[in-house]
Structure 1
Amino acid sequence: MSSFLASLVLLAPLALITVALLSFSEPGLRPNRILKMSRLATIGAFLLALGGAILVALAGALTSPVIGIGEFGFSVRLDALSGVMLLLVSFVGVIVVRFSRHYLDGDARQGVFIGRLCLTLAAVMLLVSAGNLLQLVVAWIATSLALHSLLLFYPERPAAIIAARKKFITARIGDACLIGAVILLFQGFGTLDIADILTQARNTQDGMRPPGIALATLLIAIAALLKSAQFPTHGWLPEVMETPTPVSALLHAGIINAGGFLVIRFADVMLLSMPSLHFIAIVGGFTALFGGVVMLTQPSVKVSLAWSTVAQMGFMLLQCGLGAFSMAVLHIVAHSLYKAHAFLSSGSVIDIAKTAWTPDLKARPSMGLLFLSLALALGLYAGIGGLFSALVDEAFTVLALGMILIMGLTLLIAQSMQGETQMEVVGRTLVAAAFATGIYFVLQAAAGWLLSPALPPIPTPDMAGFAIMALAVVSFAAVTVLQVLAPVWLDSPTWRAARVHIANGLYANTLFNRIVSTRKLLSRNPS
């Protein structure tokens, strides 16, 4: 009975696909029927996701029967991971579709846009709830193609075409990698059922892994990195700003973070080949630092948010690569909600900036200020960590990631004390930092408890793992020092020249532009 109830989750993408098909009948201005149906479909999808989460809480993890022939067809895998992702995707979907009703009011192709939004949401829901490898691959590819149609909603914009071309090329390489991984997984474990594969992987003894699994995990790693806009194939993401704002928000509903979901879904398999996880951690950690530094130089609000997403996806994959899978899921949820809201409210940033406090960037900070801020951040982390000692996971990986949190707190505190700052501002900053630290421990413990039935515990790091963690902590510390002390070098010619190169992403995107022939494209479309 429970397995049959799990199958009802498929009604959510079915309803969304129906709206997408009906949008052909009302593709134009103010399609009232499509607007009403899309609202009902997204709310219904959220309610079905909520029902699925409740079912998992009552009955535990389960997989629905395959709707198809043998193992080939559609099935739903309901566990803590898919329950969380379904709720996240459907909730963001409700907000984005509702927002689009007003955002595109008056657009001559509003019906088309709503239909494409619903189609993309349906593909993502099929992806995160996939119970078998075939559905996973189909939904993975469908998500990319549906997003491609949204990127080209204004096909007359050259920059939109460039972004779509680069995304298309990157996605097809990722698709090929995932298909190769699926074939190897099927050969190694003898089944398409994801739950069965994870069970076999969990029970595999050291040195007894099936043949081809190391290559399969490497292909999964490459597919995940390509999907989540990691260096050096990140260039399309900042250029997505040529599309309507709801698309940027929708990206965070299981699309740009689908790479992380893929690694987390196959966490038990990935642990059979630690070099693949190390590869993810290295690329993700570098991308996090790279994107974070470039973000600071961007004058456009939406482009800055896009670079922030590049950096955040890198940090999320760093967590995956270190084996902190539950923390990575928490990161996906928190970042998705925050960034979707940030994009949808980006038009109000000027009004917010009028009343918001900003640090005195012209002030000349000192190393003494930096060490004082670091000491305060360490004190907050240690003190609040002691209060939550019953919740704190003492795994070395968690401590290393906590050190990166300390770097963020150090920057926040240092900025509050720059220049002629009132003590009230410093006090409020310390209270906010203490609150954020406490929330970090509580949410970390809650995520670990909630996802423990579906995800393996954090593995004990090997020597390569320790080296990667040490490198990550040192690198984030160096960037923190750079951010705090940057005002000292603002007037120097060297810094001004470096800022130009950093603002252009160190030109890592130039080669990709040449591959997709953007120069010819721009010459034909000089606008």
Structure 2
Amino acid sequence: MSWIAALAPLLPLLAALLPGDARRLVTAASLGAFAAALAVAFGLMLWGGTSGFLVHLDAVSGVMLLLVAFIGLIVTLYSRRYLDGDPGQARFFRGLGFTLAAVLALTISGNLLFFAAAWIATSLCLHRLLVFYPERHGAQLAARKKFITSRLGDAALLAALLLILGRFGTLEFGVIFAATDALRAEGEAGIAVHLAAIFIAIAAILKSAQFPVHGWLPEVMETPTPVSALLHAGIINAGGFLVVRMADLMALSAAALDVLLVIGAITAIFGAAAMLTQTSVKVALAWSTVAQMGFMILQCGLGAFAAAMLHIVAHALYKAHAFLSAGGVVAQRGPGLEQPLPVAMLVPALGASVALVLVVGTLFGMPFAAKPGVAVLGATLMMGLTPMLAAALMARDAARFVALRVAGFALGVCLAYFALQMAAEWLLAAALPPSTAERGAFALVLAALTILAFGALLVLNVLRRSGRPGPALQAFYVHLFNGFYVNAWCNRLVAKHWPVKGGV
């Protein structure tokens, strides 16, 4: 299986290097990479994983390999027509091949050195795609901010690599995971392990556009649309994958998990708030990705590594499709106010949604106290249904039937959510640590505050869209629309020290 898995990154790499029709070569290579990923997935189901110096295959790497190969194939097929006739099409496809090869190598790396090399290569290859139109000032600025942030993330990952090498005497994943299991049994990890985990957390934060280094992501709309979709194939979510891949080590450090928890919660709330104010579909999708990456890091910080992996897969598939179909959404989108919803109806509906998640989670063996990472995302998901539930409660004609129908739908969604979480935990159980370091009440309190913050955001958004907001709320939304000007400050800083010359 290791040799078959190695074909996945090798095929796109060769296609990008060989002379000839880059479009056909990279398309064929993407199809071959997806076939190899499928073969590896079936092999893992039949014979289990394998670990070596070059390739490490388990449920985590198998899921990620299949995800990246699938999205890479779809993006490649989409690009055949999207850039048909563009003079830079061959250059784009070669950049696509190099980037896809680097990400696929990242997913199956058997040691931390190869992982770091693929991590860095992914960023450098993506940079060429971000500046595909070099004459665009916005594209250049966004790419430069991404470049600076990525180099800082690379430095953090290399620092963690050196600490791990000094502590364990190896960089091979299989050996490191066995050693961390022994440390977990002893109950004391040591300062080197804690520092390595913190540096990994910092690398993940910088890679996955967390606050306050998130600003480049909403600005990459100057690149071709397939690049926005490709970002979700193990690139923007590579930070979460790094943490899940190193979960055995991360689970030993409560300090590192707390760093992830705090930054993830801030990013999720901030990104979702800014997303609700955007008028451009693609920019709103980008802000949504910022929020979702915050959720992913938040779940990692709460020790919900299986939930974070499920989040990576679900969000990547949804958001890649959303970007590729954004043009059709723009054509169908029309203005209009939503039906007014009084707060007296909305707040009880919010409470009912959260209560449903808590009850169903307990029945599934995932109570809030034990699985806060699962509950936070579940509560936020169910909050999305509360305007519909509140509207059903307001209906006069056949109100009972409508309310019961909506309540039944909400219950079905909640059951499906927890069933998927259980399936993810079962699938990934052998590849993830059985427990994490003791956290205390801090994690539970922050998780609960995150749920309350999203409830408040929903109420404010409904009030703004369905009624006549006052001047204070309007001013607040103007500031949110501009991301509280954090990105503007970063733009000035980058432009001062690395100015973009010319462009439009």
TM above 0.5? yes
Is the contact made by 1:224 and 1:262 (CA closer than 8 Å) also made in structure 2? yes
Give the 3 Å change call, closer, same or farther, for CA 327–63 of structure 1 in structure 2. same
AA of the residue aligned to 2:197: T
AA of the residue aligned to 1:481: V
State whether structure 2 residue 254 is matched by structure 1 residue 274.
yes
Who is 1:90 aligned against? 69
Once the two structures are superposed, residues 194-233 of structure 1 have per-residue CA deviations (whole angstroms, 9 ceiling, x without a partner) of 1110111121144532441111111101100000000000
AA of the residue aligned to 2:175: D
TM-score (norm 2): 0.92
Where in structure 2 are the equivalents of 1:223-234 lying within 5 Å?
223-234=203-214
AA of the residue aligned to 1:81: V
Give the 3 Å change call, closer, same or farther, for CA 442–487 of structure 1 in structure 2. same
Who is 1:35 aligned against? 23
Who is 1:328 aligned against? 308
Who is 2:494 aligned against? 516
Give the 3 Å change call, closer, same or farther, for CA 384–397 of structure 1 in structure 2. closer
Give the 3 Å change call, closer, same or farther, for CA 366–273 of structure 1 in structure 2. same
Who is 1:29 aligned against? none
Give the 3 Å change call, closer, same or farther, for CA 378–297 of structure 1 in structure 2. closer
State whether structure 2 residue 353 is matched by structure 1 residue 377.
yes
CA-CA distance at 1:80 after TM superposition = 0.3
Is the contact made by 1:324 and 1:458 (CA closer than 8 Å) also made in structure 2? no
CA-CA distance at 1:411 after TM superposition = 4.2
Give the 3 Å change call, closer, same or farther, for CA 145–432 of structure 1 in structure 2. farther
Who is 1:8 aligned against? 4
Where in structure 2 are the equivalents of 1:97-136 lying within 5 Å?
97-136=76-115
Who is 1:414 aligned against? 387
Q: Distance in 2 between matches of 1:96 and 1:154?
A: 18
Q: Distance in 2 between matches of 1:438 and 1:160?
A: 43
State whether structure 2 residue 472 is matched by structure 1 residue 494.
yes
Who is 2:172 aligned against? 193
AA of the residue aligned to 1:6: S
Who is 1:147 aligned against? 126
Q: Distance in 2 between matches of 1:361 and 1:200?
A: 56
Where in structure 2 are the equivalents of 1:349-388 lying within 5 Å?
349-353=329-333, 360-361=337-338, 363=340, 365-378=341-354, 380-381=356-357
Is the contact made by 2:269 and 2:450 (CA closer than 8 Å) also made in structure 1? no
- Say which SS state the counterpart of residue 197 (structure 1) adopts: helix
Once the two structures are superposed, residues 46-101 of structure 1 have per-residue CA deviations (whole angstroms, 9 ceiling, x without a partner) of 1111121222222222123x4xxxxxxxx110000000000000000110000000
Who is 1:485 aligned against? 463
AA of the residue aligned to 2:450: A
Once the two structures are superposed, residues 148-193 of structure 1 have per-residue CA deviations (whole angstroms, 9 ceiling, x without a partner) of 0100100000000000100000000000000010000010011111
CA-CA distance at 1:351 after TM superposition = 4.4
Who is 2:51 aligned against? 63
Is the contact made by 1:413 and 1:429 (CA closer than 8 Å) also made in structure 2? no
Give the 3 Å change call, closer, same or farther, for CA 214–284 of structure 1 in structure 2. same
Give the share of equivalent positions with the same residue, in percent.
47
Q: Distance in 1 between matches of 2:119 and 2:191?
A: 25
Is the contact made by 1:60 and 1:79 (CA closer than 8 Å) also made in structure 2? yes
AA of the residue aligned to 1:105: D
Once the two structures are superposed, residues 380-410 of structure 1 have per-residue CA deviations (whole angstroms, 9 ceiling, x without a partner) of 5467557xx3x43346242564255334423
AA of the residue aligned to 1:140: W
Is the contact made by 2:207 and 2:236 (CA closer than 8 Å) also made in structure 1? yes
Q: Distance in 1 between matches of 2:124 and 2:416?
A: 38
Who is 1:46 aligned against? 34
CA-CA distance at 1:286 after TM superposition = 0.7
Where in structure 2 are the equivalents of 1:136-175 lying within 5 Å?
136-175=115-154
Once the two structures are superposed, residues 415-447 of structure 1 have per-residue CA deviations (whole angstroms, 9 ceiling, x without a partner) of 564598686886665454333212101110100
Is the contact made by 1:181 and 1:219 (CA closer than 8 Å) also made in structure 2? yes
State whether structure 2 residue 417 is matched by structure 1 residue 440.
yes
Give the 3 Å change call, closer, same or farther, for CA 338–217 of structure 1 in structure 2. same
Q: Distance in 2 between matches of 1:240 and 1:427?
A: 44
- Say which SS state the counterpart of residue 452 (structure 1) adopts: helix
State whether structure 2 residue 449 is matched by structure 1 residue 449.
no
Is the contact made by 1:411 and 1:484 (CA closer than 8 Å) also made in structure 2? no
Give the 3 Å change call, closer, same or farther, for CA 411–133 of structure 1 in structure 2. closer
Is the contact made by 2:221 and 2:228 (CA closer than 8 Å) also made in structure 1? yes
CA-CA distance at 1:21 after TM superposition = 1.1
AA of the residue aligned to 1:309: T
Q: Distance in 1 between matches of 2:410 and 2:107?
A: 34
Give the 3 Å change call, closer, same or farther, for CA 262–380 of structure 1 in structure 2. same
State whether structure 2 residue 365 is matched by structure 1 residue 392.
yes
Where in structure 2 are the equivalents of 1:288-327 lying within 5 Å?
288-327=268-307
AA of the residue aligned to 2:140: I
The CA RMSD measured in Å over matched residues stands at 2.5
TM-score (norm 1): 0.88
Structure 1 segments unaligned to the other structure (5+ residues): 27-32, 67-74
Structure 2 segments unaligned to the other structure (5+ residues): none
Give the 3 Å change call, closer, same or farther, for CA 375–232 of structure 1 in structure 2. closer
Q: Which moved more, 1:53-62 or 1:466-475?
A: 466-475
CA-CA distance at 1:498 after TM superposition = 1.6
Q: Distance in 1 between matches of 2:368 and 2:479?
A: 39
